[in-house]
């Protein structure tokens, strides 16, 4: 029977795939093999893991010469909007399992398979092309031109005389060093290299243009590799390493076998995706907040690890991360961010340290920790509580009512931390509701080993119940004592109140009060992809997350949907109503989202307005982590 190939869905061409190397580097691109972001690259490496990231090989121009006829196997977009070559008509299928794999129809008899994966054991990107089956035509030569920039991953590259095209050829290994001070680029292949330096100019990255950023780039191409596909598969290994003398085809076969075994051992689709975020830092590990442009952030790390690691039983990684961060305590605070290019960590968050306490609670509940580790983590939590009680940076201190006040003008301290041109969009100075929920949870957690915190925990809990309930709705205020003015209230309907009912180990409300919170959040903020950050009825609401930096940051926490918040909402819902129907009602849209945008991942944000188009990073750690945590909570794994 003749196999009938269905036309490929062109709407999928801009969906994105990700291959992470475990050190902060990665390969990424689109289903259409056309770069739409400055971050799309085949070899992007972290020179000071997980920071110091540089793009070495942006992509390739690949085509098949079949009996004198040229068939494109890649696509490029040039400014203003010229796609050349356009090989989408020949694309039959794409799959991310076991790694990104494309099938191209060349003619009635021939299909070419193209693959790319990152081998975590060596931080190399492996490219492979072959004919499907054994029915190869009489003459078929694959040509591949690497496209290089060797630039900082946030920057753009333009034609310049300083680029060094010189190639060093050593058997199957060809290397280039375009700029001094940056890694040597190595391509190990079973093909033939011909040095033919040139510039490809004016590439257009449409996602960057949508974000109001510079969107054109010039790339250098030192030469062309040629492969006779009738003699077997073509392989290319890209690295910033010295390479190896072992025949490249044999080495690729071993790398592929090892990588398949590693991925199979990880388990489900979501568990394999979760592995991308767990990376090396120093002698330990950390979690990248998102791909392609985030590094590791304190708040994101502690929220994410609950689902990415602890709920999956990957406890050795959780322990490593918690111990690594515990060493960074300063005046009761943990850093929230490490600069991309080194420098001192930034201690500018009121809640990151409290999220650490929550992650410690989840980890210690597993009984994985040895006594010494348990004691070390408990001391770290005590040090955080001591620091907040005494008072620390940015006006963070415990007030007479037992609650935490925080904030100074011009500084963003809560997770709603957008700031643009010196403007803090949601300052939330005073006593934010979720900070109190975290504070009271941290106190109660510490009471488990240190009863000296009991009195303060009880006082803070009583004050919370007395001061945060809105008598007109039964739900909660977003901030009390706004701008440190006693009695001043922010009644904005935001999702932060949900943490008093779900998302943390201990609920602060139950009964009618808890129902009122969940009902208000469901009525005003719930969408299929998560919770809005502000009710649409609010004058400050922004329903679209789009445009330049100012427009996007203005909307970031003023209506934009955040998928990670669906976890706290679902947990609150379950505490009130049980698990029946939860998967079909709340998780199904997220499962469907795995097949769009950042494939196998969950996006950072989405529009507040329907149809809730995804935005921000296509692959976000805490979005995926909360989905995994909810699966564990409802018993799906």
Give the per-residue pLDDT at 245.
Answer: 60
Q: Which residues neighbour 585 within 8 Å (Cβ) at sequence distance 6 or greater? A: none
CA gap 433, 520 in Å, rounded: 15
10-266: which CATH architecture? Distorted Sandwich (2.70)
Q: What span, in angstroms and rounded, lies between the C-alpha atoms of 92 and 9? A: 9
Mean pLDDT over 544-570 rounds to 97
pLDDT at 453: 98
Mean of per-residue pLDDT scores for the chain: 95
Return the structure tokens found at 529: 């992809």
Cβ atoms 167, 222 nearer than 8 A: yes
Examine the pLDDT at 38 and tell me if it is beyond 80.
yes
Q: Flag whether pLDDT at 1 surpasses 60.
A: no
State both tokens at 635: 């018993």
Single out the residue of 509, 519, 518 nearest to residue 466, CA to CA.
509
- The residues near 171 (Cβ < 8 Å, ≥ 6 apart) are 245
The Cα–Cα gap between 619 and 587 comes to: 17
In this predicted model, what pLDDT tens digit does every residue of 120-167 receive, in sequence order? Answer: 989 999 999 999 975 666 789 999 999 999 999 999 999 999 999 999
Confidence band, pLDDT 50/70/90 cuts, at residue 15: very high
The answer to whether residues 286 and 302 touch, using CB atoms and an 8 Å cutoff, is no
Concatenating the DSSP letter of every residue in 215-243 gives: -EEEEEEEEEEEEEGGGS-EEEEEESS--
Among candidates 621, 6, 633, which has minimal Cα distance to 300?
A: 621
Spatial contact of 94 and 101, defined as CB atoms under 8 Å apart: yes
Please state, in angstroms and as integers, the Cα–Cα distance from residue 191 to each residue in 57, 225, 237, 507, following that order: 18, 6, 11, 62
Q: Which residue pairs, CB below 8 angstroms and at least 24 apart, start in 77-81?
A: 77/34, 77/35, 77/36, 77/203, 77/204, 77/205, 77/206, 78/201, 78/202, 78/203, 78/204, 79/202, 79/203, 79/204, 79/215, 79/216, 80/204, 81/204, 81/206
- Write down the pLDDT at residue 8: 79
- Three-state DSSP state, 431: strand
pLDDT digits (tens, 9 = 90+) for 237-289: 999 976 566 789 999 999 999 999 999 999 999 999 999 999 998 888 999 99
| DSSP β-bridge partners for residue 126 | 117, 237
Mapped onto helix, strand or coil, the DSSP state of residue 522 is helix
Cα 492 to Cα 25, 209, 317, 495, 541: the distances in Å are: 40, 33, 38, 10, 10
Contact call for residues 124 and 25 (beta carbons, < 8 A): no
pLDDT band at 340 (very low <50, low <70, confident <90, very high): low
Give the per-residue pLDDT at 67. 86
Q: How far is CA 352 from the centre of its chain?
A: 18
Structural domain boundaries in the chain: 10-266
């Amino acid at each position: 029977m003749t196999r009938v190939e269905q036309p490929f869905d062109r709407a999928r061409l801009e969906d994105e795939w990700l291959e992470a190397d475990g050190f902060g580097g990665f390969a990424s691109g689109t289903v259409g093999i056309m770069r739409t972001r400055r971050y799309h690259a085949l070899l992007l490496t972290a020179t000071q893991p997980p920071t110091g990231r540089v793009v070495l090989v942006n992509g390739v121009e690949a085509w098949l010469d079949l009996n004198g006829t040229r068939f494109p196997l890649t696509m490029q977009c040039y400014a203003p909007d010229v796609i050349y070559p356009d090989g989408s008509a020949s694309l039959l299928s794409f799959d991310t399992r076991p790694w990104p794999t494309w099938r191209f129809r060349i003619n009635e008899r021939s299909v070419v398979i193209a693959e790319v994966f990152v081998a975590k054991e060596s931080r190399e990107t492996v490219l492979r092309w072959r004919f499907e089956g054994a029915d190869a035509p009489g003459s078929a030569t694959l040509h591949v031109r690497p496209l290089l920039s060797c630039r900082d991953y946030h920057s753009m590259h333009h034609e310049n005389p300083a680029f060094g095209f010189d190639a060093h050829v050593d058997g199957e290994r060809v290397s280039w060093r375009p700029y001094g001070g940056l890694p040597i680029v190595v391509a190990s292949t079973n093909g033939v290299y011909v040095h033919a330096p040139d510039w490809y100019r004016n590439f257009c990255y449409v996602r960057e243009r949508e974000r109001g950023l510079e969107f054109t780039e010039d790339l250098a191409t030192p030469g062309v590799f040629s492969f006779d596909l009738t003699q077997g598969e073509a392989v290319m290994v890209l690295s910033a390493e010295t390479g190896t003398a072992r025949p490249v085809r044999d080495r690729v076969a071993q790398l592929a076998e090892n990588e398949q075994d590693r991925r199979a051992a990880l388990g489900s689709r979501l568990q394999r995706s979760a592995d991308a975020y767990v990376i090396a830092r120093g002698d330990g590990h950390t979690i990248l907040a998102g791909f392609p442009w985030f590094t590791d952030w304190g708040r994101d790390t502690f929220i994410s690890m609950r689902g990415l690691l602890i709920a999956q039983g990957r406890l050795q990684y959780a322990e490593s991360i918690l111990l690594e961060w515990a060493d960074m305590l300063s005046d009761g605070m943990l850093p929230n961010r490490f600069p991309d290019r080194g420098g001192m960590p930034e201690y500018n968050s009121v809640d990151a340290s409290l999220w650490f306490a929550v992650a410690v609670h989840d980890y210690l509940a597993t009984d994985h920790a040895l006594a010494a580790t348990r004691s070390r983590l408990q001391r770290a939590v005590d040090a955080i509580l001591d620091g907040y009680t005494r008072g620390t940076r940015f006006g963070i201190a415990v007030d007479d009512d037992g609650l935490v006040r925080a904030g100074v003008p011009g500084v963003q301290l809560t997770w709603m931390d957008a700031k643009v041109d010196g403007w803090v969009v949601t300052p939330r100075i005073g006593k934010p509701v979720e900070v109190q929920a975290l504070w009271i949870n941290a106190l109660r957690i510490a009471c488990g080993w240190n009863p000296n915190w009991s009195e303060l925990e009880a006082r803070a809990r009583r004050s919370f119940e007395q001061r945060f309930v809105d008598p007109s709705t039964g739900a909660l205020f977003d901030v009390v004592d706004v701008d440190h003015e006693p009695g001043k209230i922010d009644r904005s309907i935001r999702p932060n109140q949900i943490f008093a009912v779900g998302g943390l180990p201990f609920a602060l409300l139950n009964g009618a009060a808890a129902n009122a919170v969940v009902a208000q959040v469901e009525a005003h903020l719930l969408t299929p992809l998560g919770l809005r950050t502000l009710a649409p009825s609010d004058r400050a609401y922004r329903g679209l997350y789009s445009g330049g930096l100012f427009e996007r940051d203005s909307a970031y926490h003023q209506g934009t949907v955040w998928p990670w918040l669906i976890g706290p909402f679902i947990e609150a819902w379950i505490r009130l109503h049980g698990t029946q129907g939860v998967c079909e009602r709340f998780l199904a849209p997220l499962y469907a989202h795995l097949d769009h945008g950042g494939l196998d991942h969950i996006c950072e944000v989405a529009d507040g307005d329907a149809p809730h188009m995804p935005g921000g990073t296509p692959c976000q750690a805490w979005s995926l982590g909360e989905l995994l945590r909810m699966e564990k909570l409802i018993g799906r794994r």
